[in-house]
Amino acid sequence: MFALVDCNSFFASCEKVFRPDLEGQPVAVLSNNDGCVVARSPEAKRLVKMQATLFSIKDLVARGELHVFSSNPVLYKDMSRRVIQTLQHFSPEVEQYSIDEAFLGLQGFVNRDLTDYGQQIRTTVQQWTGIPVSVGIAKTKTLAKLAAQVAKRNPNMKGVLDFETVEDIDAGLAAIDIGEVWGVGKNLRAKLYALGIKQVLDVNAPLMTLCVHQRSIHLIPF
């Protein structure tokens, strides 16, 4: 079993840690040259699009409806380190996948309620670092990433989804675009769309993952 811990709106969340007065406020982080938006808090996603130029959002900023920050890589790396150190208290196997994502090996946790364990991870990371996270749990890393995406989008899941405890995994994947599957890039997504495969569930059960070899598309079990 694996857990994928994904920091929510990571760059914006890092900025909010040191500006508690901005809790619940729309926050956007700009690219290194302050040219465009590269990260948004959930509140900001309703106001601005990714890659929006600073010029195009200047009126929102001037009215105080949007708070913007220049990119701060040193801060983000430090906060990422703090998150990883926290996760090491929950598993001896922590694999950092990106600055805001990490896999945890959960082999041997056979008698644990993994949904409850995921909630413990969320609560502890929030308390120790100030960073909100979503947790996806499944038998494979690919499914764990998808579970984390579903958990992040569904408030009723409270940030955690264990695919082993969901009666119908298909329901959890119903709205997931095939392009969001780990390893499916723009070119492969276009090829799959041409084949009529637009969502994860368009791939015949049992759940399959996608693999490209030489110019062919193969379907192999997750």
Query: Residue 170 domain-assigned?
Result: no
- SS3 (DSSP) at 182: coil
Query: Residue 171 domain-assigned?
Result: no
Question: What residues pair up with 105 in beta bridges, in sequence order?
Answer: 2
**pLDDT(193) > 90:** no
Do 82 and 161 belong to one domain?
Answer: yes
Q: Which amino acid is at 155?
A: P
140 or 186, higher pLDDT: 140
Do 126 and 193 belong to one domain?
Answer: no
Instruction: Cis check for the bond before 26: say yes or no (omega within 30 of 0).
Output: no
Can you give the pTM of this predicted structure? 0.81
Give the C-alpha distances (Å, rounded to integers) separating 186 from 142, 181, 215: 18, 11, 15
Domain range for 160 is: 2-8+74-165
What is the arithmetic mean of pLDDT over 178-184?
74
Query: Residue 198's pLDDT is what?
Result: 77
